[in-house]
Amino acid sequence: MNTNTDRRVAVVGLGAMGGAMAATLRQAGWNVTGFDPSEAARAAAAEAGIATTANIADLAGTPYAVLSLPAANVVEATVPQLLAPGTVAIVDTTTSEPATSRLMASLAEAQGAAFVDAPVSGGRDGAATGTLSAFVGATGAALAAAEPVLLALTGGKYSHIGGPGSGNVVKLLNNVLAAANLVSVGEALGVAKAYGIDPAKAAASISEASGGSKVSANMYPNWVLSGTHDSGFSLGLMARDAALAVEVAAQIGESPALLAAVAGQWQDALAALGPRADFTEIARTVAPAITPAGAPNAGAPASTAPNSTNGSTTAA
């Protein structure tokens, strides 16, 4: 049981997810200070009542830290800047890489602190309400040190998968399975549409049967068939996660053929729609007939990703 009573926490990365988690921690009674290299992200957090700093060095030695970053290399650059006397635990919610988490855990342990990989699922709503789920990779001691923060973010809805890096592996597998389901449900509803069947009715019926999933029950009705495509998670990040899941598998000699094929489809969608498109817009490339926007315009230039460490790191 963690007995540390210092409720100061740094949140690094104030994007859609990080900003919402910072607000949740503040509402739970934590003394929160946020950092993001983006002035706009800091301003948005400040409007929500979060204290911010433009200098990450100001956060060194804060007892607790939560990371919400776009990639493993940013995690590697950030953690050494936070570790200092006084650091108790760093909770990394980034969809990162297992090798990075193992390295950061060793670095933290050598300085008497804890590092846990705890990539999250639940989207903006879960982050804003403290009801995220987390895939946790950590030693038992590190988990105990980080538990107060994990409880505030998840309400206890986290799974201790195993040692450092294991949370990253399972989160990547979760995301690539969601990626595969987004493709397969889209293709199936496209077939239904071709038969003159209302895709919404087909999705509702399938969702009550053995082929149902969160994708068919929620994502397609709410974000695809409606044409809103406003999940808050980008196509660029999902394409990255799907590719990374296949890469992580290859590192241990596994060759998941179906998942590799799915990752390829997401790369095709990325080329057609650009990284800033919502991840549910994959339907526009696999089943354009069921989406109000239809197929992407092949002549339009793909948008480019913003240059910021301000990342949203979770899929539904």
pLDDT tens, residue by residue, 121-150:
988 889 999 999 999 999 999 999 999 999
Residue 307 confidence (pLDDT)? 36
Residue 3 confidence (pLDDT)? 62
Average pLDDT of 48-53? Answer: 96
The 10s digit of each residue's pLDDT in 77-113 is 999 999 999 999 999 999 999 999 999 999 999 999 9
pLDDT confidence bin for 300, thresholds 50/70/90: very low
The 10s digit of each residue's pLDDT in 185-238 is 999 999 999 999 999 999 999 999 999 999 999 999 999 999 999 998 899 999
pLDDT at 179 over 60: yes
Q: Considering the entire predicted model, what is its pTM?
A: 0.89
Distance of alpha carbon 167 from alpha carbon 158, whole angstroms: 10
Residue with tokens 């197929």: 295
Least confident of 81-90, 275-284, 302-311: 302-311
Given 171, 193, 201, 214, which residue is catalytic?
171
Mean pLDDT for all residues in the chain: 93
Q: What share of the chain has pLDDT > 90, as a percent?
A: 89
**CATH number of the structural domain 168-290:** 1.10.1040.10
Average pLDDT of 274-287? Answer: 97
Residue 123 confidence (pLDDT)? 85
Q: Give the CA count within 13 Å in the CB-facing half-sphere of 131.
A: 5
Q: How do 133-137 and 120-121 pair as beta strands?
A: antiparallel
Residue 295 confidence (pLDDT)? 95
pLDDT at 312 over 60: no
- Per-domain residue ranges of the chain: 8-164, 168-290
Least confident of 123-132, 167-176, 247-256, 285-294: 123-132
Q: Are 310 and 36 in contact (CB under 8 A)?
A: yes
Which residue, among 183, 189, 142, has the nearest Cα to 166 in the 3D structure? 142
pLDDT at 305 over 80: no
- Positive or negative, the Cα torsion across 83, 34, 159, 210? negative
Tally of CB atoms within 10 A around 239: 25
112 is written with which tokens? Answer: 């008497």
Residue 124 confidence (pLDDT)? 84
Residue 243 confidence (pLDDT)? 97
* Pairwise pLDDT comparison (307 vs 245), residue with the higher score: 245
Strand partners, 171: none
pLDDT at 285 over 80: yes
Distance of alpha carbon 51 from alpha carbon 131, whole angstroms: 23
157 catalytic per annotation = no
Residues, the chain, total?
Answer: 316
Residue with tokens 């650091």: 87
Residue 4 confidence (pLDDT)? 66
pLDDT confidence bin for 302, thresholds 50/70/90: very low
Residue 303 confidence (pLDDT)? 44
**CATH number of the structural domain 8-164:** 3.40.50.720
Q: Side chain identity at 22, as an amino acid letter?
A: A
Query: In the 8-state DSSP scheme, what is residue 302?
Result: P
